[in-house]
Structure 1
Amino acid sequence: MDQKVSESHTLQHYDLYIDGRDVPCDRTMESLNPYNGQPWAVVPDAREEHMDAAVAAARRAFDEGPWGRMTATQRGALMRKLADIIARDAEELAQIECRDNGKLYREMLGQWRYIPEYFYYFAGMADKLQGDVVPSDRTNFFIYTRREPVGVVGAITPWNSPGLLLTFKLAPGLAAGCTFVVKPSEHTPVSTLELGKRFKEAGFPDGVYNVVTGQGALGAALVRHPGIDKIAFTGATDTGKKIAASAASNLTRVSLELGGKSPNIVFDDADLDVAANGAIAGIFGATGQTCMAGSRLLVQESVHDALLDRIVERTKQIRLGNPMDAETEMGPVANEPQFRKVLDYIEIARSEGGTLCYGGQRDPDLGGFFVQPTILSNITNDMRIAREEVFGPVLSVIKFRDEEEAVRIANDTRFGLAAAVWTKNIHRAHRVAHRLRAGTVWINAYRVVSFLTPFGGYKESGLGRENGADAIREYTETKSVYVELTGEPRDPFKLG
């Protein structure tokens, strides 16, 4: 299993997962394997009535079912069981995602082996979520606060890392006591459906976890549904804006983890070999299909050519191929619309004056949706390739003179998700990190996340935070409770 995973050519068929059981649907759609462009699974293309049923099931589980009556400790115990089952099935789930989105099996396996840690962490936090005793300005009142679950959560997840990015929402939300209706991307729905079996095996009450698959209109129906208390979305910024506007009609709470155009800043005192590896990992890892991709490489003038030469030479050696093979270093783009978009952006960059250093086209030797890892130099920060999210294996290299210019270029973007600083100067490292307007900053590293650490963006990269202690607060409401201590009649027309 660690060396090479055999491919199945049998179409897998799935039902919706609603109220603890499989629910058939009269409409279906095919999920394509990006490696060969062929269908490998058949999944439901649900109607709005299925969404209504899922929301109703989640509402019953929250308001009336055993889930709402469980103690936080009991919820945590179920989450630990779920984590154990996911750990047991990590290889199977990784294979599923590899076929669904074309990412490397070894990367997906690493993710699924790490996902249980999120559930263990938040399971432990479930019964540590507590309110405060508030000092009273009146002698006859005792005042305290409670942290209570926000209610029914609608989770809308993307195609790039469906299991991990769903876990970012599920783990804190379940710990807080919420129930879920999940609408995964129509391109990568299978692992989300597969999780339903694991919830059932772990003993979660019916209705706590529901999955409704279908086209984008189904997600819109979820956002505007009056039975939803919160929307948790990961995806494109423009879509996130539409979701926020639609959710506002019901005053539905939202958390949005959106796009990025993250600066990867290399100063002239950096270790160039290490920085070159970091730049390659930041943009070509996951075929560049990650919101935190280091798509803008900012390089100090004096080391620009030397660093670019290193990156180009290493990029030429990147092995494209079957994502199931252990030797493969970069897989295909996840779906045809994204494949076309990436190629279009490369042509736009060249038309604006960018210099193609390597790549720039569909790989001539492979089928499916393979785009060569692409490096563009002579990019200025006003070009579209430097300002708009490509979400593919395209690196834009930008020169800068000094620290002031580096920070100015880095912050000159509507996004603010992530950034990195490469330098041996500890004073500069912290100084620049503090000035960057981004939710995550790495120093001499790139593309590292943890269940312990908040993740989210500034500006148009989103609202709210996922992971870490901050995340669970996104799934709770604060209730203030006043307790009158004397029992004596009060003046009904006097406040307090």
Structure 2
Amino acid sequence: MTTTTGPTAAVRRATDAPPLITEADLPPARHFIDGKFVDGSTQQAIDVVDPSTENVIARIPEATVEDIDSAVAAAVSAKEQWALRVPKDRSEVLHAVADRLAEHTDLLVRLESANTGKPLAVSRDDVAMTIDTFRFMAGAVRATTSLAAGDYAEDHLSVILREPLGVVGVITPWNYPLLMAAWKIAPILAAGNTLVIKPSEQTPLTTLKFAELVADLLPPGVVNVVNGYGAVAGARLAEHPDVDMIALTGSVNSGRAVARAAADTLKRVHLELGGKAPVVVFEDADLAATASSLRTGSFWNSGQECGAACRVLVHESVAERFVEQLVGEVRSLVVGEPTSGEDVEVGPMVSKAHFERVTGYLERAKAEGVRVATGGGALDGPGYFVAPTVLVDVPEGAEVAREEIFGPVVTVETFADEEEAVRRANDVPLGLSASVWTENARRSHDIAARLDFGTVWVNSHLVLAGEVPWGGFKGSGYGRDLSIYALDDYSRTKHVMHNHGR
């Protein structure tokens, strides 16, 4: 097997391409509260950086507790009237939102790639699923089901009501700024709630642009956007006594902090946290097809994906052949700035801090004797680029095999039999997603049932649909995004019992 000790990719640069965005494309650099853009309560601002070039492209206000309190007050004021709307009315608003986003697809794609460094293909997929999420929830809210009304105690008619929770606080991550906002906003609004969302301070632009685009479609106060850091703005949202639920997509540490802050008010908590997805490849798998699928499953969004296929467990009898196939795929990945071509597949890490985190994992792994099959380090700047990497000879329990690296890095381990494969796949603190690769149908059903992960794919990885739930077990949190299960999460049930005895 051929291996290399350093990065093999080169960053494709845009030499004469026009910039992705102009000043006119940017949203107002302010908070969005009670239906309008407003200044922050202080002059403190946060730089928004293009990770492909390291240039500052905007400056947004840094929220204080007072800013969060203002946004929550607006959401509280709007919640009664929004909750009283019948499902058909809320559905029509969500369809209008989807239509408005569809009209501005190109702008949203360019803005997302400028802020995150995503390849244009990834941003297009994000915007398309954002629109689909609003369309799905617009339909789903008109067809919710629950226990049929009936007499379950003699002479007493039971009716189950589904009610909004009230005000939901939302904290979204930097890896999918617009899409993760949609995964929260659409079901929250469909269920009849109002909300305050705090996007990541690193990638707020498409969330602010969303607010700008749909401001005339929503009553004031129904959706509020406040910029800022988690330690201040996020913490205040989580602890605020007038916030009925806090929903976060983010890191495990962020989830712990939010759950602790929410505890005093006993508000509901919805956490979609990290993942460390095992990819269990059996000896009868189609190795070429598996390696080809991991080109996307492992490196989509530059591996900055909580469901990424980042930890391969392959049967020892086919390990060498599989690694050769995988390395061939990874070496042919196109790394570059989003403006450098439609075929770019891998972009930069989102920030300098995250770039240093990912390269730190690689340096420690090499120092511990893990072998680099391809990639293995940073690529020349500017920009926060890391070479697509495959690490082999990874011992059981190694840091890179247990902790979420969240970059373009795949580790490869081997196993001897099914029992070992299942044990080692489950032996991580996170439980978001996994995949099984085999041509044996009985085995695929059995192994999938034994894997302790919220989503298990068979002979594919990272395929999502609005109709099916997304969420994890163990340290990956609780609650479900997408599907009718998300509507359940953002609703409460009330039992009303009528004595009709005569």
Q: TM-score normalised to the size of structure 2? A: 0.93
CA distance 1:276–1:239, change in 2 (3 Å): same
| Cα distance in 2 for residues equivalent to 1:293 and 1:311 | 15
* 1:19-98 alignment, distance < 5 Å: 19-25=34-40, 26-63=43-80, 66-98=81-113
Contact between 2:21 and 2:110, CA under 8 Å: does it hold in 1? no
Corresponding letter in the other structure for 1:246: A
Corresponding letter in the other structure for 1:298: L
2:228 — aligned with what?
A: 214
Report the aligned-residue RMSD: 1.7
CA distance 1:180–1:138, change in 2 (3 Å): same
| Cα distance in 2 for residues equivalent to 1:453 and 1:261 | 20
1:276 — aligned with what?
A: 291
Corresponding letter in the other structure for 2:304: Q
Deviation of residue 40 (structure 1)? 0.8
SS at match of 1:318: coil
Deviation of residue 443 (structure 1)? 0.9
* 1:284-433 alignment, distance < 5 Å: 284-324=299-339, 325-364=341-380, 366-433=381-448
2:136 — aligned with what?
A: 121
**Is residue 260 of structure 2 the alignment partner of residue 245 of structure 1?**
yes
With 465-474 and 309-318 compared, the bigger mean Cα shift is at 309-318
| Cα distance in 2 for residues equivalent to 1:459 and 1:68 | 33
2:12 — aligned with what?
A: none
Contact between 1:263 and 1:419, CA under 8 Å: does it hold in 2? yes
1:439 — aligned with what?
A: 454
Count of aligned positions: 480
| Cα distance in 1 for residues equivalent to 2:20 and 2:484 | 40
Deviation of residue 278 (structure 1)? 2.0
**Is residue 440 of structure 2 the alignment partner of residue 464 of structure 1?**
no
Deviation of residue 353 (structure 1)? 2.1
| Cα distance in 1 for residues equivalent to 2:63 and 2:175 | 22
1:490 — aligned with what?
A: none
SS at match of 2:334: coil
| Cα distance in 1 for residues equivalent to 2:447 and 2:103 | 42
**Is residue 214 of structure 2 the alignment partner of residue 187 of structure 1?**
no
Deviation of residue 103 (structure 1)? 1.1
State the percentage of identical aligned residues.
Answer: 38
With 311-320 and 169-178 compared, the bigger mean Cα shift is at 311-320
**Is residue 280 of structure 2 the alignment partner of residue 265 of structure 1?**
yes
CA distance 1:5–1:128, change in 2 (3 Å): farther
| Cα distance in 2 for residues equivalent to 1:78 and 1:53 | 24
Contact between 1:9 and 1:40, CA under 8 Å: does it hold in 2? no
| Cα distance in 2 for residues equivalent to 1:407 and 1:5 | 50
| Cα distance in 1 for residues equivalent to 2:150 and 2:207 | 42
CA distance 1:14–1:484, change in 2 (3 Å): same
Equivalent residue for 2:123, pick from 98, 108, 111: 108
Corresponding letter in the other structure for 1:128: A
Deviation of residue 439 (structure 1)? 0.5
Q: TM-score normalised to the size of structure 1? A: 0.94
| Cα distance in 2 for residues equivalent to 1:10 and 1:204 | 26
Output one character per residue of 1:475-494: Cα deviation in whole Å (capped at 9) or x when no partner.
0111111223359xxxxxxx
Contact between 2:171 and 2:249, CA under 8 Å: does it hold in 1? yes
Output one character per residue of 1:446-478: Cα deviation in whole Å (capped at 9) or x when no partner.
111111001100111111111111110000111
CA distance 1:242–1:113, change in 2 (3 Å): same
| Cα distance in 2 for residues equivalent to 1:181 and 1:138 | 44
Corresponding letter in the other structure for 2:82: W
Deviation of residue 38 (structure 1)? 0.6
2:157 — aligned with what?
A: 142
Output one character per residue of 1:9-29: Cα deviation in whole Å (capped at 9) or x when no partner.
649451110000010223322
2:13 — aligned with what?
A: none
Output one character per residue of 1:328-384: Cα deviation in whole Å (capped at 9) or x when no partner.
1110001111100001101121222211111111113x4110011111101123111
| Cα distance in 2 for residues equivalent to 1:136 and 1:310 | 60
Contact between 2:130 and 2:183, CA under 8 Å: does it hold in 1? no
| Cα distance in 1 for residues equivalent to 2:52 and 2:421 | 38
| Cα distance in 2 for residues equivalent to 1:424 and 1:24 | 58
With 220-229 and 21-30 compared, the bigger mean Cα shift is at 21-30
Deviation of residue 134 (structure 1)? 4.2
Contact between 2:21 and 2:114, CA under 8 Å: does it hold in 1? no
Contact between 2:21 and 2:111, CA under 8 Å: does it hold in 1? no
Corresponding letter in the other structure for 2:202: H
Equivalent residue for 2:491, pick from 464, 473, 476: 476
Corresponding letter in the other structure for 1:33: D
Corresponding letter in the other structure for 1:214: G
| Cα distance in 2 for residues equivalent to 1:307 and 1:168 | 35
With 30-39 and 127-136 compared, the bigger mean Cα shift is at 127-136
**Is residue 149 of structure 2 the alignment partner of residue 133 of structure 1?**
yes
Shift >6 Å, 4+ stretches: none
Contact between 2:109 and 2:127, CA under 8 Å: does it hold in 1? yes
| Cα distance in 2 for residues equivalent to 1:134 and 1:347 | 64
Corresponding letter in the other structure for 1:213: N
Corresponding letter in the other structure for 1:317: S
